[in-house]
Amino acid sequence: KRIALIGDSHAVSIRNQLIEQAEARGYGVYFSVPNIPLFDSRFPVSGMDAQLEDPRTRAVVLHYKSTKFDKPRNRERAQAFIARSLEHNVPVFLIAPVPIYDELVPRYMYTAQQSGTSYDRLQFTRADSRAHDAAFWDMAADLPTEGLTVIDPTALLCPEGPCLYYDAELHPYYYDDHHMTLTGAAMLTPDIRGLLDKID
């Protein structure tokens, strides 16, 4: 049994967490070699047909940075690929973009620590994050509901009030302004387990 993970460097950020949880349930995880499949003209929407037709492929997981969906062509290709997967009876799990910050998170935290100032200046709310990702959410609203699950990581990353970008021990959830660290990716474990529950 296997799961195909498709996306950009944001998919790479959660890959280890997905592999760990999937392997515990007997699934292999396959990751596309091109860094931006689907949105790269060299990667046709039909490029994974052989994998989709393989009965071992039980699901597809898509995850990209929010700005990838700002281009209409990218949204169209994502919609076309999702439709193609569902035609092959392969369920799709679309993980919404994670919040993006205006500054490099570790550097900001280091500077704040050295100066004795608050860490709060980078904070924003879940509503702010969803507004920033409006192009993605508009696309998601037009997608079929049968066979597709949209997972919103801000439910975990922004549980109450401001979105979180570090833990209680001041370990940052990002290694720059938008890529998650292993600590940050671990925050999405409940989402990944829920995803796997729906495949099993």
| Tens-digit pLDDT profile for residues 51-92 | 999 999 999 999 999 999 999 999 999 999 999 999 999 999
Instruction: Report residue 90 as tokens.
Output: 């392969």
CA angle 9, 37, 39 (to 5 degrees): 100
DSSP 129-161: HHHHTHHHHHHHHTS-STTEEEE-THHHHSSSS
What's the rounded mean pLDDT across residues 182-192? 97
> pLDDT tens-digit profile of 144-169?
989 999 999 999 999 888 999 999 99
Residues with Cβ within 8 Å of residue 96, at least 6 apart in sequence: 133, 136, 137, 140, 150, 151, 152, 153, 154
State the pLDDT at residue 200: 67
CA separation for the pair 70, 157 (Å, rounded): 22
